[in-house]
Amino acid sequence: MNIAREPSKDDAIIPYEGLRGWLEAVDGMGELLRVNGASWDAEMGAITHMLTEKSSGTAPAVLFDEVPGYAKGFRTLYGHFSSVKRVALTLGLSTEFDRKVDIVQRYHACMQSLKPLPPRYVDKAPILENVITGDDIDVLKFPVPRHHEIDTARYIGTANCVITQDPDDGWFNLGTYRNQVYDAKTIGCQITEGKHGRIHRDKYFERGQPMKVVVLVGQDPLLYMLAASPLPDGVSELEFAGGIKGKPIDVVRGPYTGFPIPADCEIALECEAVPGNVKPEGPFGEWMGYYSDDTQARPYLIVKTILHRNNPIICCAPQHKPVDETGLLKGIAGAAQVWRALDACGLPDILGVWNHEGGPATRFTVVQIKQRYPGHARNVLHVAANCQGGAYAGKWTVVVDDDIDAGDLDQVLWAMSTRFDPMTDIDLIQKAWASKRDPLWLPGNFNNRILIDACIPYDMKMKGTFPPVVDVTPELRAKIRAKFSNIEFPK
């Protein structure tokens, strides 16, 4: 049986401090590539794309320096999360694992016991090394990239954290929502319907009020990972990050907004959005791998203050056809939330959840279970496809038995090809939460999705009438490994 491992005793010790400490740790793991001389104009994006697309989770993080036209030290970082090890490092989980799903299981276990910690306000901080206001504001003082060849603008925010405050309850949300540059003092902010930053903005605008916003465009990768994760409503990513680290996140009060700004972040833009002020936003190469939902009129942000460290680093994550550097990030973060929802609904014996990177992101979710009762598989499918972590823009949800590794696409396809009957093992959900990034979104911005029960029919499993699997027993495997230790078997 292929049950996910218990969390390691080494879990939840964050072995780095901030982005700069993370880079040192990644360098130590041999997973950091330094590139000098690449242009901001599509070259950095193309290099990362070409390194990542066929790397099967082994691409390095790429730190670009000496960008032509910019001072040495004004850097960009791409490819944070194109390896499972770097996701594990960021979350403070052991970087040793047998199956990719182990990382999801450990993150899920860590979340179960996590106690959010409010941030701690400090007066002195590296982010206050440079505070720029008034006429001196120019977001293009940084080597802001144009990521893809068909993009018509430079985007300062992709692997970012957009901080907004709920006008009713006062909690701060961090969301990853992209920022196009219009000019020195004006940037875009594309927030999809239903996202927390969008709900906050809608509330202000419904009251005819402007909204203050802080955009971090270089920060601790943990904050970026959480900002891009579907955490529940009312949960502040700053407090959640404090809980994961086991100590509060140090913040300063933004001079214009009064918002909490992480003391060790690289670049923070304090901004304001005004109701009715819109500009055409896009085109931008999208996460589904297309130029879909191309150019739309969207609210923009006026930059009021720039805070930055000396030698700042812009964090970037352009998305493109699979596999891109966000596949693992969204996959692991989303899968852990799906697992949490399945547990919260009281569904027993969930052994693994994985969003396959080629999906992309959350569009091909596989849940591995030990079937306990007739209908268990169908329960799991409906919850996984419609819980908060699984609902947005889903397409395929598949449930498999305990002997199938949810993270191994070959095994999943085998189950879908041999344990699944098209007449009885499909359910459809119509009018679900869609994304206009989906080239096939339906009028009204809905989508339809498919649920696949690829488990052995429960009655056949119980009666033992499903044919035995052709395999090598664990005992013979162990014997062979011991006897033929000179043969290097794949893991």
228 binding ligand FMN? (CB under 6 A):
yes
Q: What are the tokens at 237?
A: 């990513």
288 binding ligand FMN? (CB under 6 A):
no
368 binding ligand FMN? (CB under 6 A):
no
Burial 58-95 (b: 16+ CB within 10 A, else e): ebbbbbbbbbeebeeebbbbbbbbbbbbbbbbbbbbbb
- Stretch in the footprint of ligand FMN (CB under 6 A) among 53-61, 172-180, 379-387, 449-457: 172-180
Among 159, 251, 271, 380, binds ligand FMN (CB under 6 A): 159
Smallest distance from the beta carbon of 262 to ligand FMN, in angstroms? 16
- Stretch in the footprint of ligand FMN (CB under 6 A) among 23-31, 184-192, 243-251, 463-471: 184-192
323 binding ligand FMN? (CB under 6 A):
no
- By C-beta, is 177 or 420 nearer to ligand FMN? 177
317 binding ligand FMN? (CB under 6 A):
yes
Q: How far is CA 72 from CA 34, 65, 102, 127, 484, in A?
A: 13, 6, 40, 19, 53
- Stretch in the footprint of ligand FMN (CB under 6 A) among 55-63, 88-96, 186-194, 405-413: 186-194
Q: If DSSP codes are grouped into helix, strand and coil, which group holds residue 453? A: strand
DSSP string, 201-230: HHHHHHTT--EEEEEEEE--HHHHHHHTS-
- Stretch in the footprint of ligand FMN (CB under 6 A) among 114-122, 124-132, 324-332, 402-410: 324-332
Smallest distance from the beta carbon of 159 to ligand FMN, in angstroms? 5
- By C-beta, is 173 or 305 nearer to ligand FMN? 173
Write the burial class of residue 174 (CB in 10 Å: 0-12 exposed, 13-18 middle, 19+ buried).
buried
Q: What are the tokens at 93?
A: 């989980």
Among 192, 257, 368, 397, binds ligand FMN (CB under 6 A): 192
Q: If DSSP codes are grouped into helix, strand and coil, which group holds residue 239? A: helix
Among 197, 390, 394, 457, binds ligand FMN (CB under 6 A): 197
What's the rounded Cα separation, in Å, for the pair 433 and 437? 12
Sheet of strand 426-433, all strands in order from the earlier edge strand to the far edge = 350-355, 364-369, 396-400, 446-453, 426-433
Among 40, 177, 240, 354, binds ligand FMN (CB under 6 A): 177
Contact 219, 315 (CB under 8 A): yes
- Stretch in the footprint of ligand FMN (CB under 6 A) among 13-21, 143-151, 195-203, 335-343: 195-203
Torsion of the alpha carbons at 215, 217, 222 and 223, rounded to the nearest 10:
0
Among 229, 337, 365, 447, binds ligand FMN (CB under 6 A): 229
Give residues in contact with ligand FMN (CB under 6 A): 158-159, 173, 175-178, 190-192, 195-197, 228-230, 317, 319, 326, 329-330
